[in-house]
Structure 1
Amino acid sequence: MRRRMLSKLDPPKVLVLGFGIIILMGTMLLALPSATTDGKGLSLLDAFFTATSATCVTGLVVVDTGDTFTTFGELVILSMIQIGGLGFMSFATLLAFILGKRISLKERLVIQESLNHGTVDGIVRLVKRLFVFTAAAEISGGILLSIRFAEDMAAGKAIYFGFFHAVSNFNNAGFDLMGSFQGLTAYAEDPVVTITMVTLISLGGIGFIVMNELFEYRSTRRLSLHTKVVLSISAILVVGGAFLIFILEYHNPSTLKNLTPSGKILGALYQAVTPRTAGSNTLNIPDLKQSTLILIIFLMFIGASPGSTGGGIKTTTFAVLVSAVKSQIRGREDVTLFGRRVDYSIISKSLTVTMISIFSIISITMVLTITEPGKDFLMIFFEAVSAFSTVGLSMGLTPELSSYGKILITITMFAGRIGPLTLAFAIAKRRKEDHYRYPAGKVMIG
């Protein structure tokens, strides 16, 4: 009976339902007395907020992860991060492999939707490689971080911390166990921690489709337009962002000023990468200059790339819109990227995703100014963008949110993980061919 009901749901609805079930299960587990160090469990609202933040790989927290949760609670959060980052359908497919079951067309369509893959062709092979890439990245990162953390803590704790942070950052979640909302600020100048984390965040953020093409490049000797756009825009945003943060924060005594020259570069680099929806930080966010915070808001809004563990409008959407503006200014009809014409449907979809995102963030910010009176506007706006783009960075507002604010941010994180991209694909799939066209009309622009 359940299978028949699920078969009637289209892929976007299955994704929404699946993520919803995972969040509810996580909420129940985090509310158990064994999940918290005080033996009382989280309140249902705080448990719901934390479960949503973990499943939607956001990283916003109303209670400090390292101080509040037991090992059981932390492992529940880590499990939700892994499932939320890779997608519950990927894990369902893995289970089907293990049990020797055949993957149906319906299930392939849902996987295609969850990974934002253009076709169902090769989707099962991609899922298999997805787990191989994930295991390789998380194990390698976990080992490197464990070795470094072993210099500061007991070996068992170092291994646990190393692998927790490797999984969290590869999935662009940003949860950390350092305690007292300090994040990784103690390691701002540490090259091992910084470079390992930056690599994990970047790999998780470029998307599994891109990773698969890079893996096959030695045999194919070619990259698709999608991969070229993702790699080029990601590089521009990271290098440009790091350079601007370095310049803006160079004389700020609360961030970069007192660091060594190499520490300044590492701190700026990390803070340029983490807004790509990772959410961890080595610099104190509230101490950053307003100009830097605005830059970070811009980077958070763009986010990661399609088919990745991150959120935002995506790097490809940004690239298409910039190219469309460039073509319009030059008086050209066609929008091109790397010598290829971009189809009008992709431009339209990019505009749809961006406009929905802008409208949503403005609406969320407006409501938060009502539910959180007396709070600084930039702090509220920063929180709204961070939640919608599933980043997890905060200027300190999250722990102080009212009950209404927590509910709104929870809905925002869920919408950001599921919303714009899935909605755009749903619109595209439901589009029907027009049997007639209206007469053309002119509207003055600009």
Structure 2
Amino acid sequence: MLKKWLRRFYASPPRVIVAGFAAIIFIGTALLRLPASSASGETTPWLEAFFYSASATCVTGLARLDTGTYFSAFGHWVILALVQLGGLGFMTTGTLFALFAGKKVSLKDKLILQESLNQGSLEGIVRLVRRVLLYALSIEAVGALLFALRFMQEMSPGRAIYYGIFHSVSIFNNAGFDLFGQFRSMTAYVGDVYVNLLSVVLVFLGGVGFIVLSDLLELRTRRRLSLHSRVVLWVSAFLIVVGTVTILIFEYTNQDSLGPLGFGEKLLAAMLQSVTTRSAGITTVDIASFRDATQFAMILLMFVGASPGSTGGGIKTTTFAVLASAVWSMMRGRSDVVLFRSRIERSKVNKAVTVTMLSLAIVMGAVMILSVTERQSFLIILFEVMSAYATVGLSAGMTGDLTPFGQVLIAVLMFVGRLGPLTFTYALGTRSGRTLYRYAEGRIIIG
């Protein structure tokens, strides 16, 4: 009976992925509760440890406990391990260990990897896993070295290397945790061109996805980027520019945020805040001081999020591109959805609509519930919910005031947002196969 149940369970890749991430969260909760994980040597309460473990595993960055002062060095390494596992995916990591041990990857494992990495086919899936590890570790190593060189100007070499490793892994995986204490994030470096640009590059590389990184590295031999990579890069660049300009305009005269800064610093801060909404969570300016218009613009950017196969969340840049193209095609009276002179199949358009509608339903439902349980304004609640669901990690000051119920709901939002609404839905139910019949066509008036 048990073997039969396990066989059925393992036959559903979405269920394995959901169960795997849940297991990591609970293991992380147990480890963060240990007295060795806190700087004071005290045991962390269950709910606080669970919330932090969920945030780290789902590479979100929302925190009620100050990472730099509350946790010990052991706690920091536990957090870093959770972030790395959450960013790469537990199946990717497990497959790599199996390959190192000389074991073959079974067909079932490949199917789970295909679901985990959001791939359309099994072809080259193991090779992609190897590249994921190579790209991730290489980028994190270079980022750690560059951060350490900068931090050595203000701290000891050993501590600078420690800070460099932590922040490189955290930022590349779009987690947003920092060790600077007092929930300051990177506000001390608001005018530091070196730190800002390095952070922007790491967030961008972590957010575009490993498939795009692979395409870019093979550009010399292929001489042409895939449609997926072109869409991701163009949409990412467009959203970064739009976000930067929007934040710069709305906050230019705000004396609580960008107002006191010089023009160069304003531009730098606006760019980092625009990039970080893509799922990163780091900030050089207090988000709570932003105007309502700016916070709402950031909510929209967070909803789009990063790209498929990346360490970020949101509905993804490709979903946004397909929806925008579908609207444009309908406005022009065309039946085909076209991107870069390539027709997008109808099933992809339907999937984009489904992901967007499910995401909107989840966000709106959570906002309505928290509007009853939490004593915050509607915009602040919407900001927190979107930040959690899109695994961004930015907060306008609500995280520390969450009720126990609010903590659990936000943790669930981070979990669902990291896995994706479709994966979570498939895990709860069963995918129906292709039907052998079609209903008669009906007429309905739209618009």
Q: Which of the five TM-score ranges fits, normalised by the shorter chain?
A: over 0.9
**Do the aligned partners of 2:416 and 2:424 also contact (CA within 8 Å) in 1?**
no
- With over 3 angstroms needed to count, the CA separation of the structure-2 counterparts of 1:212 and 1:26, relative to structure 1, is same
Alignment-mate amino acid for residue 140 of structure 1: V
2:145 maps to what in 1?
Answer: 143
The answer as to whether partners of 2:15 and 2:427 remain within 8 angstroms in 1 is no
CA contact (8 A) 1:6 1:14 kept: no
Matches within 5 A, 1:384-399: 384-399=385-400
- Compared CA separation, residues 194 and 110, structure 1 to 2 (3 A): same
Number of equivalent positions: 445
List aligned pairs for 1:156-195, cutoff 5 A: 156-195=158-197
Which ranges of structure 1 fall in alignment gaps of 5 or more residues? none
1:248, distance to aligned residue in structure 2 (A): 1.2
Partner of 2:257: 255
**Residue 118 of structure 2 corresponds to which residue in structure 1?**
116
2:108 maps to which residue? 106
Equivalent residue number for residue 360 of structure 1: 362
Q: Which runs of 5 or more structure 2 residues have no equivalent in the other structure?
A: none
Partner Cα distance (1:238, 1:201) in 2: 12
For 2:243, the aligned partner's letter is G
- CA distance, structure 2, for counterparts of residue 421 and residue 238 of structure 1: 26
The residue number in structure 2 matching 1:407 is 408
Query: What's 1:50 paired with?
Result: 52
Q: Which digits, 9 at most, give the CA deviation of each residue in 1:199-251, with x for residues without a partner?
A: 00000000001111111111011111111110000000001111111111111
> Residue in 1 aligned with 2:82?
80
From 286, 289, 302, the counterpart of 2:288: 286
Q: Is the 8 A contact 2:15 2:428 kept in 1?
A: no
- Runs of 4+ in structure 1 deviating by more than 6 angstroms, as ranges, are 1-4, 424-429
Matched residue type, 1:56: C
Instruction: Tell me the TM-score normalized by structure 1.
Output: 0.97
What is the CA deviation profile of residues 329-366 of structure 1, one whole-angstrom value per residue up to 9, with x for unaligned ones?
A: 11100010000111010000001100000000000001
**Aligned residue in 2 for 1:39:** 41
Structure 1 partner of 2:421:
420
* Cα separation, 2, equivalents of 1:421 and 1:240: 29
Q: CA deviation at 1:439?
A: 2.0
Q: Which amino acid aligns with 1:243?
A: V
Q: Aligned to 2:236, which of 217, 234, 237?
A: 234
2:212 matched to which residue of 1?
210
How high is the TM-score relative to the length of structure 2?
Answer: 0.97
Residue number in structure 2 paired with 1:153: 155
Give the 5 Å matches for 1:254-273. 254-273=256-275
Aligned match for 1:96, one of 95, 98, 110? 98
**Cross-structure match for 2:377:** 376
Give the letter for the 2:435 counterpart: D
Secondary structure of the corresponding residue to residue 430 of structure 1: coil
Question: Cα distance, 1:158 vs. partner?
Answer: 1.1
Q: Does 1:440 align with 2:433?
A: no
SS state of the match for residue 105, structure 2?
Answer: coil
Q: Note if 1:320 corresponds to 2:338.
A: no
TM-aligned CA deviation for residue 265 of structure 1: 1.3
- Gap change, CA 1:286 and 1:3, over 3 Å in 2: farther
Per-residue deviation at 1:4?
A: 7.1
CA contact (8 A) 1:353 1:424 kept: no
